[in-house]
Amino acid sequence: MTIYRFIGRFPELKKSLRRQGKKRRKYGTKANLSRYQANKRSIHNRPIEVKGKQRIGDWEGDTFVGRERKLRIVTYVERVSGFLVANLTTAKADEIHSLVQQQFKGKICKTITYDNGSEFALHKMIEEDTGALVYFADKGKPQQRGANENANGLLRQYFPKGSSFATITDKDVQRAVRKLNIRPRKRSNYLTPRQVFEARSSSVNSSDI
Protein backbone atom coordinates (compact mmCIF):
# COMPACT_ATOMS: atom_id res chain seq x y z
CA MET A 1 0.00 0.00 0.00
CA THR A 2 1.41 3.39 -0.95
CA ILE A 3 1.50 6.24 1.54
CA TYR A 4 -1.14 8.09 -0.50
CA ARG A 5 -3.58 5.18 -0.33
CA PHE A 6 -2.93 4.89 3.38
CA ILE A 7 -3.69 8.58 3.89
CA GLY A 8 -6.75 8.17 1.69
CA ARG A 9 -8.14 5.67 4.18
CA PHE A 10 -7.62 8.17 7.01
CA PRO A 11 -8.61 11.65 5.67
CA GLU A 12 -7.74 13.35 8.96
CA LEU A 13 -4.04 12.75 8.17
CA LYS A 14 -4.25 15.09 5.17
CA LYS A 15 -4.08 18.05 7.54
CA SER A 16 -0.52 17.05 8.36
CA LEU A 17 0.63 17.18 4.73
CA ARG A 18 2.60 20.20 3.50
CA ARG A 19 0.61 20.17 0.24
CA GLN A 20 -3.00 19.18 0.60
CA GLY A 21 -3.84 19.29 -3.11
CA LYS A 22 -6.51 21.21 -4.99
CA LYS A 23 -10.18 20.85 -4.26
CA ARG A 24 -11.96 19.85 -7.46
CA ARG A 25 -15.59 20.55 -8.21
CA LYS A 26 -17.76 17.85 -9.66
CA TYR A 27 -19.48 18.33 -13.00
CA GLY A 28 -22.85 19.97 -12.54
CA THR A 29 -21.92 22.36 -9.70
CA LYS A 30 -22.69 26.05 -10.12
CA ALA A 31 -19.05 27.03 -10.61
CA ASN A 32 -18.67 24.44 -13.37
CA LEU A 33 -21.95 25.26 -15.07
CA SER A 34 -21.27 29.01 -15.09
CA ARG A 35 -18.88 28.64 -18.01
CA TYR A 36 -21.72 27.17 -20.06
CA GLN A 37 -23.78 30.27 -19.31
CA ALA A 38 -21.36 32.39 -21.35
CA ASN A 39 -22.25 33.83 -24.75
CA LYS A 40 -25.99 33.75 -24.14
CA ARG A 41 -28.11 35.44 -26.79
CA SER A 42 -30.44 38.14 -25.50
CA ILE A 43 -34.15 38.06 -26.27
CA HIS A 44 -33.66 41.53 -27.74
CA ASN A 45 -31.62 40.02 -30.57
CA ARG A 46 -34.32 37.65 -31.80
CA PRO A 47 -35.33 37.99 -35.49
CA ILE A 48 -38.30 40.19 -36.38
CA GLU A 49 -40.21 37.09 -37.49
CA VAL A 50 -40.14 35.82 -33.90
CA LYS A 51 -41.33 39.07 -32.35
CA GLY A 52 -44.25 39.37 -34.75
CA LYS A 53 -45.26 35.71 -34.58
CA GLN A 54 -44.97 35.51 -38.35
CA ARG A 55 -43.82 31.90 -38.59
CA ILE A 56 -44.14 28.50 -36.98
CA GLY A 57 -41.29 26.98 -34.99
CA ASP A 58 -40.42 29.60 -32.39
CA TRP A 59 -40.65 28.16 -28.87
CA GLU A 60 -40.53 29.43 -25.31
CA GLY A 61 -39.16 27.14 -22.59
CA ASP A 62 -39.33 27.00 -18.81
CA THR A 63 -39.69 24.64 -15.85
CA PHE A 64 -41.74 24.57 -12.69
CA VAL A 65 -41.01 22.55 -9.59
CA GLY A 66 -42.89 20.23 -7.29
CA ARG A 67 -42.91 20.37 -3.52
CA GLU A 68 -39.65 18.41 -3.26
CA ARG A 69 -37.88 20.79 -5.68
CA LYS A 70 -35.84 17.85 -7.00
CA LEU A 71 -38.36 17.05 -9.72
CA ARG A 72 -39.80 19.51 -12.19
CA ILE A 73 -41.84 19.71 -15.34
CA VAL A 74 -40.00 21.20 -18.30
CA THR A 75 -42.33 22.91 -20.78
CA TYR A 76 -42.02 24.25 -24.31
CA VAL A 77 -44.74 26.26 -26.05
CA GLU A 78 -44.83 27.14 -29.74
CA ARG A 79 -45.60 30.86 -29.91
CA VAL A 80 -48.00 30.94 -32.89
CA SER A 81 -50.14 27.87 -32.15
CA GLY A 82 -49.80 27.54 -28.38
CA PHE A 83 -48.86 23.87 -28.91
CA LEU A 84 -47.37 22.46 -25.72
CA VAL A 85 -44.59 19.92 -25.12
CA ALA A 86 -43.75 18.90 -21.55
CA ASN A 87 -41.99 16.18 -19.57
CA LEU A 88 -41.34 15.27 -15.97
CA THR A 89 -37.62 15.40 -15.22
CA THR A 90 -35.04 16.40 -12.62
CA ALA A 91 -33.65 19.86 -11.98
CA LYS A 92 -30.32 18.97 -13.59
CA ALA A 93 -29.06 20.70 -16.73
CA ASP A 94 -27.85 17.46 -18.31
CA GLU A 95 -31.32 15.89 -17.91
CA ILE A 96 -32.96 18.91 -19.54
CA HIS A 97 -30.48 18.62 -22.40
CA SER A 98 -30.93 14.86 -22.82
CA LEU A 99 -34.68 15.29 -23.35
CA VAL A 100 -34.39 17.80 -26.17
CA GLN A 101 -33.97 15.45 -29.10
CA GLN A 102 -37.00 13.45 -28.01
CA GLN A 103 -39.15 16.53 -27.40
CA PHE A 104 -38.49 18.18 -30.76
CA LYS A 105 -38.29 15.08 -32.93
CA GLY A 106 -40.30 15.70 -36.10
CA LYS A 107 -41.19 19.26 -35.04
CA ILE A 108 -40.14 22.53 -36.64
CA CYS A 109 -37.83 24.30 -34.19
CA LYS A 110 -36.12 27.52 -35.25
CA THR A 111 -35.62 29.32 -31.95
CA ILE A 112 -36.07 28.63 -28.24
CA THR A 113 -36.36 31.41 -25.67
CA TYR A 114 -35.60 30.42 -22.07
CA ASP A 115 -35.61 32.13 -18.71
CA ASN A 116 -32.28 32.35 -16.88
CA GLY A 117 -32.53 29.21 -14.78
CA SER A 118 -29.34 27.17 -14.37
CA GLU A 119 -31.19 24.12 -15.71
CA PHE A 120 -30.71 25.62 -19.19
CA ALA A 121 -26.96 26.03 -18.76
CA LEU A 122 -26.20 23.54 -21.55
CA HIS A 123 -27.88 25.76 -24.13
CA LYS A 124 -25.06 25.38 -26.63
CA MET A 125 -25.56 21.62 -26.68
CA ILE A 126 -29.31 22.16 -27.03
CA GLU A 127 -28.60 24.30 -30.10
CA GLU A 128 -26.52 21.51 -31.59
CA ASP A 129 -29.23 18.91 -31.01
CA THR A 130 -32.17 20.98 -32.30
CA GLY A 131 -30.55 23.19 -34.92
CA ALA A 132 -32.35 26.11 -33.25
CA LEU A 133 -30.92 29.36 -31.94
CA VAL A 134 -31.36 29.75 -28.18
CA TYR A 135 -32.20 33.11 -26.61
CA PHE A 136 -32.69 34.21 -23.01
CA ALA A 137 -35.25 36.60 -21.55
CA ASP A 138 -34.18 39.36 -19.19
CA LYS A 139 -33.91 38.36 -15.54
CA GLY A 140 -37.06 39.00 -13.57
CA LYS A 141 -39.24 39.56 -16.64
CA PRO A 142 -41.40 36.45 -17.14
CA GLN A 143 -43.81 38.53 -19.23
CA GLN A 144 -41.27 38.39 -22.05
CA ARG A 145 -42.20 34.70 -22.35
CA GLY A 146 -45.92 35.27 -22.06
CA ALA A 147 -46.99 32.23 -24.09
CA ASN A 148 -44.96 29.94 -21.85
CA GLU A 149 -46.16 31.56 -18.63
CA ASN A 150 -49.77 31.13 -19.75
CA ALA A 151 -49.24 27.47 -20.67
CA ASN A 152 -47.58 26.78 -17.33
CA GLY A 153 -50.60 28.28 -15.61
CA LEU A 154 -52.90 25.94 -17.53
CA LEU A 155 -50.72 22.94 -16.71
CA ARG A 156 -50.73 23.95 -13.05
CA GLN A 157 -54.45 23.16 -13.02
CA TYR A 158 -53.41 19.51 -13.19
CA PHE A 159 -50.28 19.84 -11.02
CA PRO A 160 -51.00 22.59 -8.46
CA LYS A 161 -48.27 24.65 -6.83
CA GLY A 162 -47.00 22.91 -3.69
CA SER A 163 -48.11 19.46 -4.84
CA SER A 164 -45.75 16.50 -4.79
CA PHE A 165 -44.23 15.46 -8.11
CA ALA A 166 -42.94 12.26 -6.51
CA THR A 167 -46.45 10.86 -6.76
CA ILE A 168 -46.88 11.45 -10.50
CA THR A 169 -45.32 9.94 -13.62
CA ASP A 170 -44.45 11.29 -17.04
CA LYS A 171 -47.58 9.51 -18.35
CA ASP A 172 -49.64 11.76 -16.08
CA VAL A 173 -47.93 14.77 -17.60
CA GLN A 174 -48.57 13.54 -21.14
CA ARG A 175 -52.28 13.06 -20.43
CA ALA A 176 -52.56 16.66 -19.23
CA VAL A 177 -50.58 17.93 -22.24
CA ARG A 178 -52.86 16.09 -24.67
CA LYS A 179 -55.94 17.63 -23.05
CA LEU A 180 -54.51 21.14 -23.36
CA ASN A 181 -53.40 20.61 -26.96
CA ILE A 182 -56.93 19.61 -28.03
CA ARG A 183 -58.68 22.41 -26.12
CA PRO A 184 -60.14 24.99 -28.57
CA ARG A 185 -58.70 28.50 -28.18
CA LYS A 186 -60.60 31.70 -28.83
CA ARG A 187 -57.47 33.43 -30.15
CA SER A 188 -57.24 30.75 -32.87
CA ASN A 189 -60.89 31.02 -33.93
CA TYR A 190 -61.64 28.06 -31.68
CA LEU A 191 -59.18 25.76 -33.38
CA THR A 192 -57.04 23.66 -31.06
CA PRO A 193 -53.29 24.22 -30.62
CA ARG A 194 -52.67 20.84 -32.24
CA GLN A 195 -54.77 21.76 -35.29
CA VAL A 196 -52.99 25.08 -35.76
CA PHE A 197 -49.53 23.60 -35.22
CA GLU A 198 -50.06 20.70 -37.62
CA ALA A 199 -51.68 22.88 -40.30
CA ARG A 200 -48.93 25.52 -40.17
CA SER A 201 -46.19 22.88 -40.04
CA SER A 202 -47.69 21.08 -43.01
CA SER A 203 -47.77 24.27 -45.09
CA VAL A 204 -44.11 24.92 -44.28
CA ASN A 205 -43.11 21.37 -45.26
CA SER A 206 -45.11 21.60 -48.49
CA SER A 207 -43.35 24.81 -49.47
CA ASP A 208 -39.99 23.06 -49.04
CA ILE A 209 -40.82 20.40 -51.62
Look at 12 and 107; give whichever has higher pLDDT: 107
Q: What is the per-residue pLDDT across 23-58, written as a single tens digit (0 to 9) for each?
A: 444 444 455 555 555 689 999 999 888 877 889 999
Contact 124, 149 (CB under 8 A): no
Contact 88, 155 (CB under 8 A): no
**Per-residue pLDDT at 204:** 76
**Per-residue pLDDT at 209:** 47
**Per-residue pLDDT at 24:** 46
**Per-residue pLDDT at 92:** 92
Taking residues 56-72, what's their average pLDDT?
94
Name the pLDDT band for 107 (thresholds 50, 70, 90): very high
Domains for the chain: give ranges and CATH numbers.
Answer: 33-200 (3.30.420.10)
Contacting residues for 49 by C-beta, under 8 A, at least 6 apart:
55, 58
Q: What is the per-residue pLDDT across 84-103, written as a single tens digit (0 to 9) for each?
A: 999 999 989 999 999 998 99
Q: How many other C-beta atoms can be found within 10 angstroms of the C-beta atom of residue 98?
A: 14
pLDDT above 90: residue 81: yes
Instruction: Give me the percent of the chain exceeding a pLDDT of 90.
Output: 69
Contact 111, 41 (CB under 8 A): no
Positive or negative, the CA dihedral 40, 121, 58, 109 is positive
Name the pLDDT band for 131 (thresholds 50, 70, 90): very high
Question: Across all residues in the chain, what is the average pLDDT?
Answer: 86
Look at 197 and 32; give whichever has higher pLDDT: 197
**Per-residue pLDDT at 111:** 97
